[in-house]
Amino acid sequence: MSNCYRHLLLGAIALLVTQAAIPQGNGKTATLGNARAGATLLSYDQLSACLQQRDELGQRKLRLEAERATLDRERTELLRSDEALKAERAKVDQMNATAADIHKRNQALSQQISEFNRRVASFDAASPSGPAGDRQRRSLERDKAALEKSAAELDAERAALGPDAEQLIKGHQARAMQRDAAAADWNTRNAALTKAVDGYQSELSEWQADCEGRTYREDDEKLIKSGK
């Protein structure tokens, strides 16, 4: 081997040694979560994907928790509304029952008045005289007084319901319809949230299987966070 060739070879070896000695970072590793036995080292691309997915899952968790808190507050309000409507419903039911009874008795009274008027017309047409006529006249007067008393009682019961009874009933019906619409909307959003949570849990399980417990190079993490 010539001296010239030997010098070239030694120079090449020296260059290789010098290149091998160039620092490649601190060589330290870290773990995503708790270390997992037998887990392989994450490559740069794998680490980048794991970190990105971890951040996305973290942000999604916050959104899901916020939405759950909102739905829980609305559920409490709906339950409170149910209690108020329940108490109001008892009052409305009583009003409806009273109104129905008054209407039924008023119809019966109308029939009695019609029958009374027929009897009066018949009496006037016959114009009976003597004791028999006097007895019929007194009977009609007693019946008239009884009918007038029944009519007065019904008027008093109508007044007792109050002029705002119908408005109260209509208002209750409107509030009940609003509550039903709010409950239907809540159920729809709650079902959607449940589905979203299931999707989150599925992706979290995938991340845990693919990423959690695996080691990675700290230098790779620094480069990824720096955007390089």
Report the alpha-carbon distance of residue 5 to residue 178 in Å, rounded: 96
Q: Is residue 15 part of a domain?
A: no
pLDDT (mean) for 87-99: 85
Give the range of the structural domain holding residue 70, as residue numbers without chain letter. Answer: 58-225
Is residue 220 one of the residues assigned to a domain?
yes
Span 19-39, pLDDT tens digits:
333 334 457 999 998 888 888
Find which of 54-63, 85-94, 167-176 is predicted with most confidence, using mean pLDDT.
54-63
pTM of the model: 0.61
Let me know if residue 67 belongs to a domain.
Answer: yes
Report the C-alpha gap between 89 and 84 in whole angstroms. 8
For residues 195-211, give the mean pLDDT: 96
Q: Does 49 fall in a domain?
A: no
Is 122 a member of any domain?
A: yes
pLDDT of residue 127: 85
The verdict on residue 76 lying in a domain is: yes
Does the structure show a pLDDT above 90 at 214? yes
Domains of the chain: total:
1
Gap between the Cα atoms of 157 and 144, Å rounded: 20
Residue 5 domain-assigned?
no
User: Mean pLDDT across the stretch 196-213?
Assistant: 96
7 falls within a domain: no
